Structure 1
Amino acid sequence: MSNRIKNRTLGRQPSRLHQTINGLVLASALVVSSSAMADNSGTKRNYHISSGSLSHALSEFAGSAGILLSADARLTDGKTSKGLDGEYTVEEGFRKLLSGTGLVHIFTNDNTVTLKVLENQSQSDAATLSAVQVVGKTQFSYFNGEDPNNTDYSRSNAYSATKTDTPLMQTPMSVKVIPQQVLKDQQDITLAQALRNVSGVIPNEGSGGGNFFMRGFQNYNVYKDGFLNQSQWFHTEDLANVERIEVLKGPASILYGRSEPGGLVNFVTKQPLDTPYYSLRQQFGSFDLYRTDIDATGPLTQNKDLAYRFNLGYQSNNSFQDFAGNERIFVAPSVRWNINSKTTSTLKLEYSDIKETGRADIPLQGNRPAAIPRSRNLGEPWNIQEDKYLMLSLNTEHAFNDSWKLRHRFNFTNYELTMSSFNVDGWWSPVQANGNQTRYYFAQNMDGNDYQHNFFNALELIGKFKTGFAKHTLLVGGDYYRSDVRTTTVGFGANPNQYDTINVYNPTHGAGQPAISAADITTANTTLPWFGLYAQDQVELPYHFHVMGGLRYDAAEYDSTAYGEYAHDRLYQNEDRVSPRGGVVWQPIPELSLYGSYTENFGASNTNLQGIPLPPQTAEQWETGIKTELFDGRFIGTVAYFDLTKQHVPIAVRPGVTEAAGEQESRGIELDFSGQILPGWNVIAAYAYTPFAKTIKDGFRATNLGKRLNNAPENSGSLWTTYQFQTDSLRDLKLGAGVQAVGQRQIGFNEIAQAPGYATVNLMASQLWKVGKSRITAQLNVDNLLDKTYTGSIFSYGPSYYGAPRTFMGSVKVEY
């Protein structure tokens, strides 16, 4: 990753607060006893300096070495260092601390050092740039992987909101980044666990996180490196290859096409690195969980034009539910080729096979989920769901010069879903007084030939230029997405064999799979192509204003034919739409931004109960907020207010008839912050207050009018914090704790049943040992420490899923 250096005389000076904070950090290195003289003869000394802020690391090193460090604090602004651990000379120590920062050190006398900027020059002729700002961010590219040893909880930049290298402080939308270190400290192995750290997001634990709610609306918008990673049932996500998770709040149609309006989740995957890195982690936990992760990367050639990365994850576990379990394998090799100094291409392959057996939902009993033990399973031992997933992607980027570049992305995915299970009925058939509950049979991939083929192509041109006093970052692009789906299913049919009854108090298992005839099977072939053109201009204006504007044109089709029990003739729909977006940011001082934005959304296609296409869902959102970034970019926070309205929601206007007659709205305030408060003390927190999340239009019957949206609590939040001791005797010991709280939620849109609110407490402890060039980390996490019984998943049709009881997760990790 290359650092960008900008002339201070062309930009604004840092605020007095900003200069004071950085100046105080470096000033400690200037006040050294006059008797303390550095030994520059080559004698080595032992140092223990933690990774983190570069200014803090240099201050600690200079003080220990007896060095007077004379440098402009702005040179280290926003930069980080890997720290020091071992024996180094003064020369070696400075080189290690400054590695990769774009800075070099120069001795002016025996014990005084100054910093200089190295920019396209040899170290010997590097000039001191007293009027230069070193911007503490990197030019974003998916070809630039992060340092695996980066322990920061905050990120100053994100790709998902703009598809350009834009600081979050200059982005007029709410974006939350979950870095790799958070995933490590929490030992998150599912998307649902990771999304607990984001305000306004309510994950469904029973779906592995692929089915979640954002700003009051159900969501399936999971992207990977910017392309839609859509499967049929969204259980295919594994975090073994994920470097960080970026969550964009609100509509995202301007850059991503058809999507749900609550926002999207973008996985930024691990990239091949030029520096060798190898790790092996073995996890073991409650309910016989065993998981192995392997991560290996490095150059394949001496000139580093070729580099590779290989990630593997294997997991097997039982469940707190009787006879339920899971087994999965995930493999992700990739190769990066620097074709020349201006062109880079990366080829990636991913494969996963996930088998889930025995899991079953909890039915409604009165106005609550059925009061049965968490371990009770109302399915059958043979209940199974298997997701197979194969992805091939090729990403290429060519830089014409320092200002213009062209980016092409191709992606192919194939999903195959096989399932067969008895499931409890929904809100229309709750538990009877005697405990009996109706179940229905559902199965898919009856002949073993089902598939979902997804094709994605995108071409984008990014350029930077000036017009008068305005600086532009222009993005122009087009994308094409096509999904071809074949399904063979059985369920909700006329055959009585597809239904039975189980008693929730005294369940009897042993019912075999029902006898199914060819007439019970529905075979459907569906094609969903869409094409989009988009343009976005980000303009930097005087007085620290940043303006964004963009448009997207989408042309989408729906083409479906079905045979069998639910046969229908060819159904075809063609829709197009122009979606705008605009926003403005005022950053009066580097530590503070005020922003506002307006965005429209083009949503998914609908069909009514007869399978006839309905108008696509649309939405618009107003958002305003405040952002802050402190401590050299090590801490970032956002407070946002949003008003989001969704139209053309499918509503049953009378029995057997569905129309796109509904309209729903959510409004609320969200708070997110993360980063380092003090050396060794990291925190990530989220809170959402959503007082209004209701149906405001409901066709002709007004059945749901004014009622609260499904799974949209008024209050929800989380707090997670860790502290790594800084004293020599305890330096590599880390302790952490967190809490997650969710208020009462409606089950379905009719407000006849609710899931009570809950709060869970989580703990962690880890110890690091350095053995030669290797690092060994032992870690223990305890989730739901107080063993709270709570509803972890809610589905709009009624059934829910209990969250996990007290769970232990241990791990041993070796890195070198």
Structure 2
Amino acid sequence: MTRRLGIAILLGSAAFAAAPGYAQTLREDASEVIVVTGQHPRDQASSGTKTDTPLAETPQSITVITADDIAGLGLQNLNQALRFVAGVTPEQRGSSAEVYDQFKLRGFDAPQFLDGLKLQGGVGYLSPQIDVSRLDRIEVVKGPASVLYGQSGPGGLVALSSKMPLDRNLYGAISGSYGNYDLYRVDADIGGRAGEGVLWRINGSANGASTQQRFGERERQTVSAAVTVGSGSSSSFTLLGAYSHDPKNGTYSVFPASGTFLENPNGKLSTKWDGGEPDNFFSREQAALTYIFNHDFGSGWSLRSSGRYQYVSSKLGIVYPGGSLDSNDPAQRLYDRYSYASDEQLNAWTFDNQLHGTVITGPVKHDILFGTDRQVSHAKQFVAFGSATDIDAFNPVYGTMPVPRTPLTVPDSTPQRNQVNLRQQGVYAQDQMSVGGLRVVLSGRQDWARIDAYGQTSKSEKFTWRAGALYTTSIGLAPYVSYSTSFEPQTSRLGTPDALGEVAKPSSGKQIEAGVKYTVPGTPILLTAAWFKIDQTNLVTSNPLTNLVTQAGKVRSRGVEVEATAPLPYGFNAKLAFSRQRLKTIEDTNPANIGKGILGVGRGGISANLEWAPNDGALQGFAIGGAVRHVDKVYAGTYPYGATPGAPTNTPSYTLADALIRYDIGALSSRLKGLTVSANVTNLFDKKYISTCYLDYGWCWYGNRRTAQATIGYRF
């Protein structure tokens, strides 16, 4: 690994790189690097209100991440992109679960929406993942958003936007990346006009890497194609198809708490250690077809209709360490292991129809939105959990058992077939009123949901709403306050595996948020600060010792967040994100849980990015920068195994540094126009740290060690 790291840094110092994963950056002026796909300004978002609204006039916290940000920081997945968002506890399973984008937003799991439509998930281990090469931008909506999107958690949601055809004659880009851990990326993007009002675009990526753990390897090939008919007219229709093949999905495993977070007399386990088997596998296939129809009626009224069919399948077979030491081993070297295999499929349909218009009543302007949406999903799972041989963590011997290839080959198990069908229908309305400097948002929604799971049918309905007000002043200050609610059907089944009960009831949440936004007059500098309080009820909890699943209680999340985006003089650009939060159980059937936190939720942290790209002079075209990321302690639960009373309940905080360098070679000669090189290093000082622990299970995860990558790209 050291040799490969040295090669990558050498390539980077020779400037043999471009913006990783994209390489389609171009410079419109001397102060800003933008990606070919940019269609919306950074200071505007559509996800919070489903209308294009300036961030400074939206009474809600929203963070925007552009493809330019992803490229400039060399980010490889959504988890990494969310490292720089206030209120997010990122990378829940560290370097050991790149197959998923696992994070907490304001203390809660947050769903993902792609092009305004929810990305549906499966029954157990099946979950879609969108490659960042397909994304034009990411908008993180904080706080309950059910009023516009239906089923959504109280912490908020992540809205992803695909790269769409642009109204240009011909454009394109190609890039290639290399890094340590055998990281590679080859990305391509091309599009243009095919006739009057007809636009097209195709982009794809082949990427992969070895993982930090010994046997892990990920590999992906993905391609997307889109065509728009009627561009520039009152009616347009876009059809977008996407396919991803992930024959290898890295490592989905754990580290035992003893020997990582907790002391073990034999020492610490290496970050390379793998408690599974070389033949562990996890493959996934994804396909989707999306349509978007827009029609402008004139007089300020328009219609948008969109829908998507989504297919996802996955297969996995894994031997993994259970977390606990073998009780018959006084030397504390042997760890219990288990095995499982799963075969899952998902077919889902999602639709959203919106009518948007403007009405003037006296001095008040009303931006009115009416909508209806529907979600249907059919998820199947064939799964089995079983036993496995022990492993000596400090002198591992592999090959003591075969990895199960199907649920039928899992030892000491009874395979199960599960199917969950979900249907949800919603109607919603919203009025954005503006008069003078006052902005008021009122939204309401009615949902009807039905879940058919485990031979049972569960029906529910819920009215959710939101009210917010913001006042803009002549000096750029805009204080605001909002109240919103959430509703989220759940598919968990209560009881124990031997005595299963009814399907859990939907959870509900409510939030009050107050804050202020400040735009420095005459500049794009935006600073935001917010305080929030969220209550969630009907929380589902599982006891890892008894496998009892219950639903009761109430959790509360309180916190403050500060974010700033500041293009500065002399070519500097700065970003800051700070958050401080506390999430705890305030009601529960088990009194021992009251006052405790929720596994995997951190107290907050701070990140700061600074980049220098001279606007003129001999160094024009050159950029250098870096970032510092501090993550505060994360709640880890309590350790129930062995003689370790009073074990710590929080993982230690950690601070990491990143660095980047980039050069637009086109600044040297017009014949080299479009050629860009760069290098990125994350965790620059190679800090070894624990990202999260679930001590109730005896599980922990190491964070990502130093990674370096270099890329060369060309765009036209």
- TM-score tier by shorter-chain length is 0.7 to 0.9
**Residue aligning to 1:697:** 587
Identity %: 27
Within 2, Cα distance between the matches of 1:429 and 1:534? 55
**Residue aligning to 2:79:** 192
Question: How far does residue 634 in structure 1 lie from its aligned partner after superposition?
Answer: 2.2
**Residue aligning to 2:28:** 82
Within 2, Cα distance between the matches of 1:643 and 1:524? 37
**Residue aligning to 1:708:** 597
- Partner AA of 2:28 in structure 1: K
Question: How far does residue 358 in structure 1 lie from its aligned partner after superposition?
Answer: 4.8
Q: Alignment partner for residue 589 of structure 1, among 454, 471, 474?
A: 474
**Residue aligning to 2:683:** 784
Q: Alignment partner for residue 210 of structure 2, among 289, 303, 318?
A: 318
Within 1, Cα distance between the matches of 2:398 and 2:354? 56
Q: Alignment partner for residue 732 of structure 1, among 617, 621, 626?
A: 621
**Residue aligning to 1:260:** 153
**Residue aligning to 2:337:** 439
Within 2, Cα distance between the matches of 1:732 and 1:797? 51
**Residue aligning to 2:360:** 466
Contact 1:359 1:383 in 2 (8 A): no
- Partner AA of 2:290 in structure 1: S
- Partner AA of 2:120 in structure 1: Q
Within 1, Cα distance between the matches of 2:208 and 2:146? 38
Within 1, Cα distance between the matches of 2:250 and 2:427? 43
Q: Alignment partner for residue 557 of structure 2, among 648, 666, 669?
A: 666
Within 2, Cα distance between the matches of 1:429 and 1:581? 52
Within 1, Cα distance between the matches of 2:331 and 2:59? 53
**Residue aligning to 2:49:** 162
Question: How far does residue 655 in structure 1 lie from its aligned partner after superposition?
Answer: 5.3
Question: How far does residue 426 in structure 1 lie from its aligned partner after superposition?
Answer: 4.9
- Structure 1 residues 464 and 195, CA, compared in 2 at 3 Å: closer, same or farther? same
SS for the counterpart of 1:300 is strand
SS for the counterpart of 1:169 is helix
SS for the counterpart of 1:217 is coil
**Residue aligning to 1:13:** none
- Partner AA of 1:223 in structure 2: F
Contact 2:424 2:449 in 1 (8 A): yes
SS for the counterpart of 2:68 is helix
- Structure 1 residues 378 and 782, CA, compared in 2 at 3 Å: closer, same or farther? same
- Partner AA of 2:657 in structure 1: V
Q: Alignment partner for residue 766 of structure 1, among 662, 666, 690?
A: 662
Question: How far does residue 801 in structure 1 lie from its aligned partner after superposition?
Answer: 2.2
Within 2, Cα distance between the matches of 1:149 and 1:766? 20
Within 1, Cα distance between the matches of 2:134 and 2:709? 20
Question: How far does residue 263 in structure 1 lie from its aligned partner after superposition?
Answer: 1.1
Larger Rg: 1
Contact 1:369 1:755 in 2 (8 A): no
Give runs of aligned pairs for residues 129-148 of structure 1, distance below 5 A: 148=36
Q: Alignment partner for residue 288 of structure 1, among 174, 182, 189?
A: 182
Give runs of aligned pairs for residues 558-569 of structure 1, distance below 5 A: 558-561=451-454
Alignment of 1:344 onto 2:250: no
Question: How far does residue 772 in structure 1 lie from its aligned partner after superposition?
Answer: 3.0
Q: Which moved more, 1:586-595 or 1:156-165?
A: 586-595
Contact 2:138 2:160 in 1 (8 A): yes
Within 2, Cα distance between the matches of 1:625 and 1:156? 17
Question: How far does residue 573 in structure 1 lie from its aligned partner after superposition?
Answer: 0.4
- Partner AA of 1:278 in structure 2: G
Within 1, Cα distance between the matches of 2:627 and 2:74? 13
Give runs of aligned pairs for residues 513-528 of structure 1, distance below 5 A: 513-514=403-404, 515-516=409-410, 520-528=414-422
Alignment of 1:608 onto 2:608: no
- Structure 1 residues 273 and 369, CA, compared in 2 at 3 Å: closer, same or farther? farther
SS for the counterpart of 1:230 is coil
Deviations 1:299-338 (A, max 9, x none): 111x3x1111111111121122212111101101110111
- Partner AA of 2:36 in structure 1: P
Question: How far does residue 629 in structure 1 lie from its aligned partner after superposition?
Answer: 2.0
Contact 2:562 2:578 in 1 (8 A): yes
Question: How far does residue 369 in structure 1 lie from its aligned partner after superposition?
Answer: 5.8
Question: How far does residue 752 in structure 1 lie from its aligned partner after superposition?
Answer: 5.6
Q: Which moved more, 1:499-508 or 1:427-436?
A: 427-436
Q: Alignment partner for residue 451 of structure 1, among 345, 349, 353?
A: 345
- Partner AA of 2:683 in structure 1: N
- Partner AA of 1:777 in structure 2: T
SS for the counterpart of 2:69 is helix
Within 2, Cα distance between the matches of 1:754 and 1:365? 15
Within 1, Cα distance between the matches of 2:601 and 2:237? 42
Contact 1:682 1:722 in 2 (8 A): yes
Deviations 1:397-453 (A, max 9, x none): 1010041001100101000011110122257989975122111111111xxxx4101
Alignment of 1:405 onto 2:313: no
Question: How far does residue 469 in structure 1 lie from its aligned partner after superposition?
Answer: 1.3
Deviations 1:440-475 (A, max 9, x none): 111111xxxx41011011111001111111100011
- Partner AA of 1:240 in structure 2: S
- Structure 1 residues 759 and 622, CA, compared in 2 at 3 Å: closer, same or farther? same
Contact 1:651 1:662 in 2 (8 A): no
- Partner AA of 2:622 in structure 1: L
Question: How far does residue 339 in structure 1 lie from its aligned partner after superposition?
Answer: 6.6
**Residue aligning to 1:813:** 713
Question: How far does residue 268 in structure 1 lie from its aligned partner after superposition?
Answer: 1.3
Contact 2:113 2:157 in 1 (8 A): yes
SS for the counterpart of 1:234 is coil
- Structure 1 residues 427 and 407, CA, compared in 2 at 3 Å: closer, same or farther? farther
SS for the counterpart of 2:389 is strand
**Residue aligning to 1:644:** 534
Aligned residues: 654
- Partner AA of 1:82 in structure 2: E
SS for the counterpart of 1:259 is coil
Deviations 1:232-251 (A, max 9, x none): 44362200111111000111
Contact 2:326 2:334 in 1 (8 A): no
Q: Alignment partner for residue 634 of structure 1, among 502, 520, 524?
A: 524
SS for the counterpart of 2:390 is strand
Question: How far does residue 792 in structure 1 lie from its aligned partner after superposition?
Answer: 3.3
Contact 2:449 2:489 in 1 (8 A): no
Q: Alignment partner for residue 271 of structure 2, among 352, 361, 374?
A: 374
- Partner AA of 1:592 in structure 2: L
Alignment of 1:248 onto 2:135: no
Give runs of aligned pairs for residues 21-170 of structure 1, distance below 5 A: 82-83=28-29, 148=36, 155-170=42-57
- Structure 1 residues 765 and 401, CA, compared in 2 at 3 Å: closer, same or farther? same
**Residue aligning to 1:128:** none
- Partner AA of 2:520 in structure 1: L
Contact 2:507 2:537 in 1 (8 A): yes
Within 2, Cα distance between the matches of 1:81 and 1:328? 30
Within 1, Cα distance between the matches of 2:232 and 2:710? 45
Question: How far does residue 181 in structure 1 lie from its aligned partner after superposition?
Answer: 1.7
Within 2, Cα distance between the matches of 1:583 and 1:432? 61
Within 2, Cα distance between the matches of 1:262 and 1:428? 36
Contact 2:341 2:410 in 1 (8 A): no
Within 2, Cα distance between the matches of 1:429 and 1:526? 36
Give runs of aligned pairs for residues 541-552 of structure 1, distance below 5 A: 541-542=435-436, 544-552=437-445
Contact 2:217 2:251 in 1 (8 A): yes
Q: Alignment partner for residue 321 of structure 2, among 380, 403, 424?
A: 424
Contact 1:369 1:800 in 2 (8 A): no
Q: Alignment partner for residue 579 of structure 1, among 451, 464, 469?
A: 464
Q: Give 5+ residue unaligned stretches, structure 2.
A: 1-25, 640-646
TM-score by length of 2: 0.87
- Structure 1 residues 268 and 794, CA, compared in 2 at 3 Å: closer, same or farther? farther
Within 2, Cα distance between the matches of 1:184 and 1:427? 41
Q: Alignment partner for residue 284 of structure 2, among 359, 381, 387?
A: 387
Q: Give 5+ residue unaligned stretches, structure 1.
A: 1-79, 86-96, 98-145, 562-569
Within 1, Cα distance between the matches of 2:575 and 2:326? 42
Within 1, Cα distance between the matches of 2:411 and 2:476? 67
- Structure 1 residues 394 and 443, CA, compared in 2 at 3 Å: closer, same or farther? same
Considering Cα pairs closer than 8 Å and 6+ residues apart, tell me whether 1 or 2 has the greater RCO.
Answer: 2
